[in-house]
Chain A
Amino acid sequence: MSRRHIIRAVVTALLAGIVLFGMIAGSSGPRDRVRAITSRLKCPVCQGESVADSPSDVSRQIVAQVQDQVSQGRTDAQIEQYFVDRYGSNELLDPPPSGRNLVLWLVPPLIFAGGVLLVQRKVTSPNRRRLRVGSVVALAACGAVLLVVFRDRSASDPSSAATPPPTTQQATDTTTRDLSTVTNDEMETVISQNPTVVGMRLAIIKRYIADGEIDKALRHSAVAVEMQSTPAEYEQALQLHGWVTFLHGEPASGAKYLRASLALAPDDRDSLWLLAQVELNGLKDPQSSLTVLDRLIGEQMDVGRRTDVLSLLNVARKQLGLAMVDLTTAMADAARSTTTPAVSG
């Protein structure tokens, strides 16, 4: 090999090394993270443009949202999932390399490899050896790029987060801290390290319900009802699992768990309220819903909840052909209350 060839090979290797180092090391400052995340999100009102590059109002609002979430300590994967949950998987400019999308990632290198083999067969023997070496180098580079992509993806996946797992002391600290200051990611980590911590599992189920992440809530609630816990925790686990299974589209199963929860705590207002909704809206059984609501209406509750209960009571009564209850007083109370009223009129 001549000196010129050696210099060329060294320069090529150096350049490739610099590119790979940049891809692997990257930069992880908050501003860089916001830029990196918004570069991966598609502007919802543009044609194939990223949120980072788009000057549209929607994109600027999404950037502000990402900044907020980065400052709250959420991971890249959690932030991307937040937008995927609202805009769908098309919100990501690069589809995740899993499931059917895997084909999209594998087809280009496979076509490239096929092309290289096809050209090799056509080339005459003096050039074949050199071409073969070139092909191997090109395919190896292709493989390296794919590896880096997959590595980046799995690193941003919360299930394999690059942050070290907490020690037992850290886990205890987190469980004894005010839960409102703990991020979902921290809670998930603590739960995976301490699978018998019932309280935190119940807390994250509530968060996922509030965030509309029903699949994630269901994953935890299904475990919670099988765990050894105190009677109060078990009753709450049954209640939450009942509501989550209803939201997941299984009203019969939801009602079953809510009734089981009520068997342990017959006067639990939350369980009664949830069961009344499942009976009416899920099982289409206004009579059973009315029975539950009649029990609930005698309990103490704030004005907002009472208004909701009376509204649902009237829906059930209307479906049964019964006279409606006068809501005027409750509505007037609700308007005076500081509780946030629901949409009306």
Chain B
Amino acid sequence: MKRTSRIAFAIVGIMIIVGFSWAAVRSLNNGASITNSALIGKPVPGESLFDIETAEKISLNSPGNIVVINFWAPWCAPCAGEHRMLNDAVARYAQQNVRFVGIAYQSENDAVTRFLDANGHAVRTLLDPDGKAAIDFGVTGPPETFFIDGSGVVRARVAGAMSTALLDDILTKLANGTTDLSKIKLAS
């Protein structure tokens, strides 16, 4: 084999190794982050779900309000801390046009009730017994959170447990009219 061919093969090999290493390092970053979703820029799926406490059927669309939809499960370890943070946020945003709703993902009602008793009831909790809502939102695993703007359009999806700073940052930007959150540096 000629020397130039060897050098070319070596360069290609190094590039492949560097590429795989970069991808591996990125996948190890387990923190919550804004992630891509096929729903971004589209209207919130029109499914109505039952409230576990009032048995009312609730629409996820709330015109004029930003809606934070959090998919969680009692068996999901990071969900408990995030749920307590969201319960606190309900009080902090009570005077603003922000609504918080939790959707119990693949969970038994008893386990959901125990989870809410332990972590707070401020976030309105809806049931998704057949998993239709989770499929409609393209959920792959809890916790996942979707942000809907006042016109009912999905603007962001966060995979992983959010920090208070990330939640506040996204809500501030949405309230200011920012629609494309994917290109903006947010708090981690």
Contact = CB atoms under 8 A, between A and B. Distances in A.
Nearest to A64: B130
Contacts of B65: 311, 315, 342-343
A282 interface: yes
A87 B177 contact: no
Interface string A295-312: 000000000000010011
Contacts of B173: none
Given A61-B131, A88-B36, A212-B39, A344 B177 contact: no
A84 B61 contact: no
B58 A45 contact: no
A83 B132 CA distance: 12
A83 to B, nearest CB: 8
B153 to A, nearest CB: 7
A214 B139 CA distance: 21
A86 B149 contact: no
B59 A57 contact: no
B5 interface: no
A109 interface: no
Interface residues of B, number: 44
Given A57-B131, A62-B135, A88-B138, A343 B101 contact: yes
Given A84-B38, A88-B37, A343-B99, A58 B64 contact: no
A61 B59 contact: no
Contacts of A308: 63-64
A84 B65 CA distance: 28
B64 A314 contact: yes
Contacts of B63: 277, 308, 311-312, 342
Interface string B44-68: 0110100000001111111111010
Closest 4 pairs between A and B when the two form their complex, measured CB to CB = A61-B131, A281-B151, A86-B138, A312-B64
Interface of B: 36-39, 41-43, 45-46, 48, 56-65, 67, 90, 97, 99, 101, 106, 124, 130-132, 134-141, 149-151, 153, 177, 179
29 contacts: A45-B141, A58-B134, A61-B130, A61-B131, A62-B135, A64-B130, A65-B132, A83-B135, A86-B38, A87-B38, A209-B43, A212-B39, A214-B41, A247-B42, A247-B153, A249-B41, A249-B179, A278-B151, A281-B149, A308-B63, A311-B63, A311-B64, A311-B65, A312-B63, A340-B48, A340-B57, A342-B59, A343-B62, A343-B101
Interface of A: 44-45, 57-58, 61-62, 64-65, 83-89, 209-210, 212, 214, 246-247, 249, 277-278, 280-282, 284, 308, 311-312, 314-315, 318, 340-345
